[in-house]
Amino acid sequence: MPRALITGITGQDGLYLGELLTAKGYEVFGLVRGQSNPKVATVERLVPGVVLLEGDLTDLPSLIGAVEISQPDEVYNLGAISFVGLSWKQAELTGETTGMGVLRVLEALRIAGGNDMSGVRFYQASSSEMFGKVRETPQRESTPFHPRSPYGVAKTFGHYLTVNYRESYGAFACSGLLFNHESPRRGIEFVTRKISRAVARISLGLQDSLSLGNLESRRDWGFAGDYVEAMWRMLQQDAPDDYVVATGETHSIRELLDVAFGRVGISDWSGFVRQDPRFFRPAEVDVLVGDSSKAREVLGWKPRVGFEELVAMMVDADVATETESADKALTIR
């Protein structure tokens, strides 16, 4: 039975990856931070049999302990402060977690292995945010980086460290340059889920407006369930490498609003959406669109869920959740 250790198992991708690896027969270990993390129950429900280990990406001894207990064949480093907007407000924490956290996980593997990293395969959750102010379109593995946020800078540090441990210690270390991927499990701070949730609530009469920032930026949005499959495939190859994972399509926030409101039968959303300076960023990534030819050819990976299907899935899930909460509130009254 192969053994996998996942950092960030309480997050969107951690849950999908935990489900995938369990279905493939892995023994799954998950790093969980905090004294009493409220997401533990969800992880245990969705990933039956998971072994949860206490630890934090800012604390090297806890990472060494997690590696010693789990003795992993594969490590997926998904843990991070992942919200770009927060990274300006808490830049030091972002650097420590999203950047230095990668160094600590790699060091934990090196130290626990007595300087021998040959027994473990490592996946680093890198990001299209590293392309930032893009130098070419579409972005591919060879596109130069120009990160635009403390988050993007921290991810770039983590990416190069992953490459460096491969070159320095012969580690089987892969970096996945993943473009935006979403799902009904997405955190409510990200724009897709913020919109799907608000659209659901507006359609049910529970909310009357939605405040957003820049409506012109464009993203290459895919489905998170598809993207964790690419992570796993990277670690099953004969040699470690880095891969762009993307759909190859880009859409603006305005198009996202069209599809999301359209799903509940609202064709003109202008009366519901306000722009609020609080949600604009000090430096924006205007347009992202990825060329995932390498992942498609080498890994045999391709996205299965398209943009409209993804948005419909998220809106429908939020309509169901909000209806259930409203029904419960009525019963309690």
- Residues labelled as active-site residues: 156
Bridge partners, residue 219, by sequence: 251
Bridge partners, residue 244, by sequence: 177
Q: In this structure, what token pair is assigned to residue 290?
A: 């990825």
Which one among 127, 139, 250, 292 touches ligand G4F, defined by CB under 6 A?
A: 127
CB of 317 to ligand NAP, least distance (A): 16
Q: Is 271 exposed, middle or buried (0-12, 13-18, 19+ CB in 10 A)?
A: exposed
Nearer to ligand G4F, 113 or 213 (CB): 213
Please report, as residue ranges, which positions from 94 to 113 form the binding site for ligand NAP (by CB under 6 A). 97
The answer to whether 230 and 236 have CB atoms below 8 angstroms apart is no
Which one among 4, 12, 150, 273 touches ligand NAP, defined by CB under 6 A?
A: 12
Which one among 43, 67, 253, 317 touches ligand G4F, defined by CB under 6 A?
A: 253
CB of 328 to ligand G4F, least distance (A): 28
Which one among 24, 61, 187, 327 touches ligand NAP, defined by CB under 6 A?
A: 187
Q: Which partner, ligand G4F, ligand NAP, none, binds residue 311 by CB below 5 to 8 Å per kind?
A: none
Q: Which partner, ligand G4F, ligand NAP, none, binds residue 97 by CB below 5 to 8 Å per kind?
A: ligand NAP
CB of 300 to ligand G4F, least distance (A): 23
Binding flag, residue 209, ligand G4F (CB under 6 A): no
Q: Which residue has the tokens 């359209």?
A: 262
The answer to whether 23 and 16 have CB atoms below 8 angstroms apart is no
Q: State whether residue 301 is helix, strand or coil.
A: coil
Binding flag, residue 133, ligand NAP (CB under 6 A): no
Four-residue CA torsion sign, 284, 290, 294, 298 = positive
Nearer to ligand G4F, 118 or 211 (CB): 211
Binding flag, residue 244, ligand G4F (CB under 6 A): no
DSSP H helices, the chain, are 12-23, 40-46, 60-70, 84-89, 91-94, 100-112, 150-169, 191-203, 224-234, 253-263, 293-294, 307-332
Which one among 166, 197, 201, 219 touches ligand G4F, defined by CB under 6 A?
A: 219
